Amino acid sequence: MDMNRSRLLKALIPLVIGLSISIIPTPQGLTQSAWLYFALFVAVITGVILEPIPAAAIGLIGITVAAISGLVYTAPGDAIKWCLSGFADTTVWLIFAAFIFALGYAKTGLGRRIALLFIKYLGKRSLGLGYAIALSDLVLAPFMPSNTARSGGTIYPIISNIPPIYGSKPGDGTERRIGSFIMWTAFTATCITSSMFLTSLAPNVLAVSLAAKEKIAMDWLTWFIGFLPVGVTLFIATPILAYMLYPPEIRRSEEAPKWASEELRKIGRITKREIAFLCEVVLALILWIVAKDYVNATTVALFAVSLMLITSVTSWDDILTYKSAWNVFVWFATLVTMADGLYRVGFVKYVADMIASTIKGLDPFIALMIVVSLFYWLHYLFASLTAHVTALYPIFLTTALGIPGISPQIAAYSLAYTLGLMGVISPYATGPAPVYYGSGYIKSRDFWKLGLVFGLIFYATYIAIGLPWLMFILK
């Protein structure tokens, strides 16, 4: 009964918020349709955050209501074409294909093997163990756009076996022996790797799609190079910072490599399927880097998926039954469409003009820094990176495009790079956060405190190194 009440409340809150906004007089400068669409949009985003029903279903309901009501297009034919436009978006298909890569890691066992190998060879000391965990995430990141699947679904199940070996268990006062350090390092590492690659976080690809609405092209290699100085700096520094700011009581971890060796012995030698899949993902990575001017990134991803089917790395039945991939496909297709609607009714330009008026006349770098900072820290208000991107990226991108001397690419990348980093700030900021928070190894007070400290470190590093570097390479 309590669960039903909670679900009903979660369903009512978005409706009440949407209706409340809709009855407010339309602000000057907006049409009534634009204001009503904004009310619908806020209701959908609130629903995505609260999830009384699956987020993909909420998105589908949202675009259907918008099409029926004619808020974006009044002609029925135009309305349904707009309603379904997200399903033809190439970046939505790229997200889907990347999820199939994640399926390949799980089906072949390659992801688990890679993580165990790092632990075996780097895990003799607690700090080395931290780097082993971070490297495991880094290797998987370019091909797993769900950091929840990558860190929460692949890395966490492996590393959760390590603390008990040292008598470190949640809830009995032994968390800080080694478990807390391991869990926090794994969490912060995935936040960094989520920003390092275009394909390491689904909202990254969504941001690319939204930027394309403004005719801004973003590609895999430019993304990687543009974030490289920040990524390398934070990746090297973060395990050390975790070791200093949240130190384990046990400094050596001789048992972890032994355990990893035993697990590797159990799974046996590398299989032909693992080798085939490894070749396929490496080929995709090479083509993303060297053939970006000749072959679309989504085409490359679909080609790799086709090879996975041909070589029996995965089967069509596996893909059909992989609910996560299809769920994300529908979810992102509908959210791309909803965000596009904000452009089409003129709401994005309206809000961007208001923000632009407050930074008018400032130095371009200072103005861009303010826009990026607002975009980053407003994530405290969101429990979903996807909701954050859908709601705020179009508005802040349009604002950044209005800054004199800032090129469209600088504007697009400067905001998108923060998406993985901002996931560190709270226990709900990104998909894996609830997994590590719920592990019991990191106390609530510690999670909020460390989230703020590391959030500030990530932010300061990005502002000090990332923005100047980006403006240098894309000037």
Q: How confident is the model at residue 143 (pLDDT cuts 50, 70, 90)?
A: confident
Would you state the structure tokens that stand for residue 168, as one six-digit string? 């470190």
pLDDT digits (tens, 9 = 90+) for 410-439: 999 999 999 999 999 888 788 788 788 878
Q: Is the dihedral of CA 50, 51, 52, 56 positive or negative?
A: positive
pLDDT digits (tens, 9 = 90+) for 441-456: 888 789 889 999 999 9
Cβ atoms of 105 and 140 within 8 Å: the answer is yes
Location of structure tokens 């070749």 = 279
Q: Tell me, what's the pLDDT at 237?
A: 96
Measured CA to CA, the distance from residue 66 to residue 82 in angstroms comes to 10
The full length of the chain comes to 475
What is the average pLDDT score of the chain?
Answer: 88
Least confident of 46-55, 380-389, 421-430: 380-389
User: Whole-prediction pTM value?
Assistant: 0.76
Q: How confident is the model at residue 197 (pLDDT cuts 50, 70, 90)?
A: very high
The b/e string for 22-33 (b: 16+ C-beta within 10 A; e otherwise) is beeeeeeebeeb
Q: Tell me, what's the pLDDT at 372?
A: 95
pLDDT digits (tens, 9 = 90+) for 91-134: 678 778 877 877 887 788 887 788 788 788 887 888 988 998 99
Q: How many helices (H) and strands (E) does the chain have?
A: 25, 0
Cβ atoms of 30 and 346 within 8 Å: the answer is yes
Q: Tell me, what's the pLDDT at 462?
A: 97
Alpha carbon of residue 465 to chain centroid: 22
Position 202 pLDDT exceeds 90? no
pLDDT digits (tens, 9 = 90+) for 245-263: 999 988 887 787 888 888 8
Taking alpha carbons only, the member of 194, 438, 212 closest to residue 343 is: 212
Q: How confident is the model at residue 3 (pLDDT cuts 50, 70, 90)?
A: low
Q: Tell me, what's the pLDDT at 383?
A: 64
pLDDT digits (tens, 9 = 90+) for 160-173: 878 887 778 887 88
